Amino acid sequence: MRKLRFALVQKDFTVGGISENVNKMISTINEVEKSSPDFIIFPELSLVGYPPEDLLLKHSFIKDNLEGLDKVIESTKGKSFVVIVGFVDMVDDIYNSAAVIQDGQLLSVYHKILLPNYGVFDEKRYFAAGDKPMIVNYGGVKIGISVCEDIWVPDGPVVDEVRAGAMILVNISSSPYHLLKGMAREEMLRVRASDSRAAIVYTNSVGGQDELIFDGHSVVTNESGKIIARAPDFKESVLISDIDIPNIVSANLHDPRKRERGRTKPTVEFVEVNAININRDPITPIISETLSFEEEIFKALTLGVKDYVKKNGFSKVLIGLSGGIDSSLVAVVAVEALGAQNVTGVLMPSMYSSASSIDDSQMLASNLGIKTYTIPISNVFSAYLEALKVAFEGTNIDVTEENLQARIRGNYLMALSNKYGWLVLTTGNKSEMSVGYATLYGDMAGGFAVIKDLYKTMVYQVARWYNSYKGKEIIPNNVFVKPPSAELRPNQTDQDSLPPYDILDKILKLYVEDDLSFEEIMERGFEKETVKKTIRLVDHNEYKRRQAPPGIKITSRAFGRDRRLPITNHYQGRG
């Protein structure tokens, strides 16, 4: 047997959508059969979607998942290839599992051994850990089976599979995206393959699930760690790749380390499957191009919006257009994700709105081809001030009056949302959310926060890339050059209240993502009072962030699922 053919199914499976997921699996199996594969590999928990979270505490959910698996098994009757499916197994407890299926039979089940419980992961809350590595013996070719985290740990269960003779390692995964994660993941797999002298077949999920994005980026490596096939990022795909068995055998014969490691045989479950031996035309595997920093972010945002909107039963979205960079980027993402016909912009000028902001909003809308409403807030703002006149008597005008304007705009947007069933996309960025430069029930009002995890400097970077990518000025040039402003008082700019964004964002990354202390950040050369103020603002605005809508995770540590700090907190490590 010179080559084995693997079909890596990188598809968008929906959490809780068991019936639709099963139908997608069965149709994919029937379609991929034309490629004469030896193995068809589906991602981790693809039958139920990832992460199912507290759905796993419902017995009916586990039962429906097992019935769904039976339907997938039934669909393979008369088919000679092996299918591996991620599902939830229930024995004495529930397990994150991989089913090994052939010709209408469930041959065996692998239980994930290493359960991640850090960052966005919470698997120990739900699953019991497996305790036995697995090898599928396919015509004398030993193939190790593992699930996601099992391959990330250098001395994890795949090591035992290699010691037991595995020449190919199949890993099914639902590995959430953050910036540059695909290449980091790929490098880990390259190292694991090279160290093991085993080829790796790595199948990852793709799609958006609430805050999380799954980028796909499924890959196949040879026994030297070279990438021989790569699926596209952020896109459904079936990646077909052949693996040359004699090359693996030769590499192992020339590597004496394998003999040393193989002296002690680990406890591994062996599963015998029927091998097929047919003549097939050779294929040229696809090695998709990797993306630039900006394109990667943009495609993640686009996929996140598309899936959140559609999976939650919406078809159209609504965006407050201010003429600034944030709402401009959110608008272009929405149009790319949903089409211009499904995006509406709302201009809500006040007495403080500049003519250029209105012009820039209208030009953006025209360039994108989206419908707009213009609903001024000045008269309503005056009515608010009149209504509050007695209660505010003897006080000075301050941020309260500024926030009233933001809240009027939030009310307008939510009224349109209620009337027409449109989802409001909020436009706040990570810099603003970090320091509380946002208004509760005002510009924070909405259903989905598209750029919640992008620092302001990243917003500009991605927006510039988008215009360059389109080859024309979609976002008006004036949006890039004018000072950012909330326009809630005369001549206001963001830098009246905040440090310059190029400095602020660096401090925020060190404090929010890297967890450095005041002293450690100071040692990086930042001005004392700027660091002190930034940390104070971040710490004092945790309560706001808890009330913000969910948003797309882009950085390595996002607010919400990643960074969880108590609101009531007297820790004094703030300078």
Q: What is the mean pLDDT of each run of 10 residues along the chain (575 residues)?
A: 91 96 97 94 97 94 97 95 97 96 96 91 92 93 95 92 92 95 94 92 96 96 93 96 82 67 74 84 89 96 97 96 95 98 95 86 96 95 93 91 92 96 96 92 94 96 96 93 71 73 93 91 91 92 92 92 81 62
pLDDT of residue 86: 98
In the chain the first and final C-alpha atoms are separated, in Å, by 66
User: In degrees rounded to 5, what are phi and psi of residue 544?
Assistant: -70, -45
Q: Are 332 and 476 in contact (CB under 8 A)?
A: no
For residue 31, the model assigns a pLDDT of 95
Q: What is the pLDDT of residue 260?
A: 63
Q: What residues pair up with 216 in beta bridges, in sequence order?
A: 233
Q: Cα 252–256–257 angle (5° rounding)?
A: 90
Q: What is the pLDDT of residue 9?
A: 98
Helix spans in 282-437 (H): 293-311, 325-338, 355-368, 378-387, 399-420, 430-435
Which domains does the chain possess? 3-273 (3.60.110.10), 293-494 (3.40.50.620)
Confirm if 54 and 82 have CB atoms less than 8 A apart.
no
C-beta separation of 220 from 6 below 8 A: yes
pTM, two decimal places = 0.92
> Which amino acid is residue 343, in one-letter code?
V
pLDDT value, residue 263: 57
- Please give the positions annotated as active site: 44, 112, 148
Check residue 291 and give its pLDDT.
93
Q: DSSP letters along 71-93, please?
A: HHHHHTTT--SEEEEEEEEESSS
3-state secondary structure of 20: helix
